[in-house]
A and B are shown apart, each in its own frame.
Chain A
Amino acid sequence: MTTSTTTRAVAVPRPAAKGRRRRLSRKHREWVAAGLFLAPDAIGLLIFVALPMVLSILLSFYQVSGFGSYTWVGLGNYERMMHDPLFWDSMRITGIYVLVLVPVLFCVSLGLGLLIKQRLPGLAAYRTALFLPYVISLVVVGQLWKFMLDDQTGLVNRTLRAAGFEGRSWLGDPDLALGSVIAVTVWVMMGYYMIIFLAGLQDIPKEYYEAARIDGAGPWTSFRRITWPLLRPTSFFVLLMSTVAALTGGLDLVFVLTNGGPANGTSLAIFYIYQQAFGFGEFGYAAAMGSFLVLIMVAFSALIFALTRGGRFDHDD
């Protein structure tokens, strides 16, 4: 090979300028290739995520009329936020929403993951049925549940009445509406996290369970000593993603199911921010609340990282 190259160099002399052109090393070429492959995503993230975030933070220092007029107000929007009882009420509701939704979703998804890991007849159909709500439009889900939870004719109340109980106003009673929204959210999201848990469960070698069984371990001991510790990275992922989703999501379902009512009972922070921006044209104020919510989300994520050590196993330390 060396000979061939030398021969060619002699046979076809290159112009001086080209001969002097510095060629990239293999390592550098790999870096360039990697950069080119990453570029579309990186540029997309930069334009559609990072840039809007920066602009949103900048916007939070302005009073925006919604018609092209921007007035610098410094920390005025943040000061207003601190004294806005409706915002803090929406933060309280968001807190309850997150604290109830995330553990419930976690447990239900994990339970379903464990269930569909078993070799049961008709498992594929069962797995598909559980995952199906996740792929349905949230607006359709909202409408569907609106009918199911209807006070007079909804399936839920009809069933309750048939069983001798009294029907309730699931979406019209402030004491029940948030719970109903959480229940519908769990119904929608459980299939997705179930699949994530299933992937994590299938990664655990069967030999561990066989060895445990030989040693006399029952199902609970196997779960506690093998499944739970080895699921740590998956659990971390589910916990983090569902917390972020709960903090910043829920708008679609709330919009369709309750429109923030009854009596602001389901007015999550994200809904209140949306209402201020698009309903009232308070884009600057909404940006300030949005930035604050991002801060809360980062704090929550950091807390989860700290508590779970980023999902790492003990021996990774």
Chain B
Amino acid sequence: MLQHDNDVGRKGPSRRGLLTAAGVMATAAGASALLSGCGAARASGNTLQFWNFYAPQQTPDPAVKRQAQWFIDLVDAWNAGHETQIELVYVPQSTYTNGFKLPSAFAAGSGPDIFLLSPGDFLRYYNGGVLTDLTPYVDREVIDDYGDNLDSRTVDGKVYALPMEVEPLALYYSVDAWEAAGLSEGDIPTTWDQLLDVGDRLRTDTRAGLVFETNPGYYQNFTWYPFLWQGGGEVLDRDGNVAFDSRATRQALQLWKDAVEHGIAPRTLPAAGDVISAFRGGNVAIWQQGIWQVSSFRSYAPDFRYGVFKLPVPPGGEYTTALGGWSFCANSLGRNPEVAAEFCGWALGRMTEECIDRMVSWCTEAKSDVAPRLTALERGAAAGGYDFWAMKKFRDEIAPGGRAEPRYPPVVYKAISDAIQGTMLAGRGVDSEAERAAQSIEAYTRSYEGASLV
């Protein structure tokens, strides 16, 4: 009370007044921080965001550094000549693919203006209505230049994604392991039986003879499709009818099942999936991988002696492989879809020297890929980009005859994935799994509404 009395004669702000003012300021500061945080999800002003899993990032990996720099150079070149600027936003690949970042952003209505998309995700995004038609922004000759490589990104003759690379699958092997097992070049398997036989001879307690992908996911399906196709199998036929329950499906499932059950292929990936470490550590003899590993070997194990061979075929089968690779897309619900599409066209869809050189640089210097455009492939070859024996092999022997990764939606993917996992790792019968998966796909396709699944 006395203190209260003493306050009476005090001049200036009271304690309560100060506390109130501080409270208001703190609230204002908190609110502005929150609001600015919300705003950060989208680019501000005259800038579009390009979400990707390459740049900008700090990394000791020389290969990833080259790839990050390619993206930075690309955006710098655009920004130097255009009013609307592009800002690169790096999203780690584990969160980008099969993660929450991109789906959450689109679900919240704040998807990136430009983004990278794999064939496995294409239909979901197309059916969601977020892909801009890129056809008007691509030179007409470029459509022909891409050839078949645009098929899985096209709906009703319109292009909705521009591939930046083609990534075929093959089998890598350790030459040292090969020689130690008394094998020679002549023992390179050309049939499935030979593959299992060689894998069996190469395996030891600490070395996997033959590695197929074991983790469930889009990638595992992608690596299994060639074995299905080689026997003439399909998930859906040309008319979109379910064709999964077939002899070809069962023999492809049986191949992976046999490899695991006989101990030739491991149930988990060696070295937690680190391919180069596993080869260098002598923990694997043969591993099904893509062309991108050429670049990884070049960076991390330039002296390691490895070989590459085409996927073997079943009796009476025909060679093929799966061709993966990512594409540039523009968000039709973004801040400026026209400029975003213009950027995609400018980056990959022009017949200009600069545009072709850019693709050559990505596929032969930054990464190790087959260029999806014929002109870029030829120019890359002329510039020596495919002189290295492994690159030459991929371009001349492995990629020809390959098929683009299918664009099946999640329910179809999941049905196939469960069949692969069930037979390969749980020892279930191939007949029942093929039938069950076919029924799931059939049930889904009956009520499916959207762009063609094939």
Which residues of A come within 8 Å of B, CB atoms?
A: 1, 4-5, 8, 12, 64-69, 86, 143, 146-147, 149-153, 161, 167, 169, 171-174, 258-265, 274, 277-283
Contact of A152 among B111, B270, B333 (CB under 8 A): B270
Interchain CA distance A273-B103 in the complex, whole Å: 14
Q: Which of B406-451 contact A (CB under 8 A)?
A: 410-411, 414, 418, 421-422, 424-426, 428
Range, interface on chain B = 35 or more
Pick the 4 closest A-B CB pairs, nearest first: A172-B267, A67-B128, A262-B425, A263-B426
Q: Are A68 and B267 in contact (CB under 8 A)?
A: no
Verify if B8 is at the interface (C-beta below 8 Å from A): yes
Q: From A64, A172, A261, give the contact of B107 (CB < 8 A).
A: A64
User: Considering only CB atoms, which chain B residue lies closest to A166 in the complex?
Assistant: B205
Secondary structure class of chain B's binding surface, majority of residues? loop
| A173 near B98: Cβ-Cβ < 8 Å | no
B5–A4 touching, CB < 8 Å: yes
Q: Would B270 and A153 count as touching, CB distance under 8 A?
A: yes
- Distance in angstroms from B101 CB to nearest chain A CB is 9
Chain B residues with CB under 8 Å of A8's CB are 5, 8
Which residue on A lies nearest to B99, using beta carbons? Answer: A278
B409's nearest neighbour on chain A, judged by CB, is A280
Residues A262 and B283 in contact in the complex (CB < 8 Å), given A64-B107, A66-B128: no
Q: Which partner residue on chain A sits nearest B425 by CB separation?
A: A262
For the complex, would chain A's binding face be called helix, strand, loop or mixed by DSSP majority?
loop
Binds A, one of B149-157, B208-216, B364-372, B396-404: B208-216
Q: B270 to A150, Cβ gap below 8 A?
A: yes
A147 to B268 Cα, complex, angstroms: 11
B271 touches A67 (CB 8 A): no
Complexed CA–CA distance, A277 and B108 (Å): 13
Chain B contacts for A64, CB-based, 8 A: 107
CB <8 Å contact, B421 and A264: yes
Return the chain B residue nearest A282 by Cβ.
B410
CB pair A151–B266 under 8 Å, yes or no, is: yes
Query: Which listed residue (A1, A68, A151, A263) contacts B421, Cβ 8 A?
Result: A263
> Does any Cβ of A come within 8 Å of B281's Cβ?
yes
Q: What 1/0 mask marks residues of chain B from 203 to 247 whose CB sits below 8 Å from any chain A CB?
A: 001111000001111000000000000000000000000000000
Chain A neighbourhood of B424, CB < 8 A: 262-263
CA distance A84 to B421 in the complex (A): 18
Q: Enumerate 8 A-B pairs (CB-CB under 8 Å) in ascending A order.
A: A151-B208, A152-B283, A161-B205, A172-B425, A259-B217, A261-B215, A278-B103, A280-B410
The answer to whether A152 touches B205 (Cβ under 8 A) is yes
Measured in the bound complex, the distance between the Cα atoms of B101 and A278 in whole Å is 8
Out of A67, A172, A260, which one reaches B268, CB within 8 Å? A172
Q: Which residues of B have CB within 8 Å of A146? A: 272
**Whole-angstrom distance from the CB of B263 to the nearest CB of chain A?**
10
Residues of A within 8 A of B272 (CB): 143, 146-147, 150
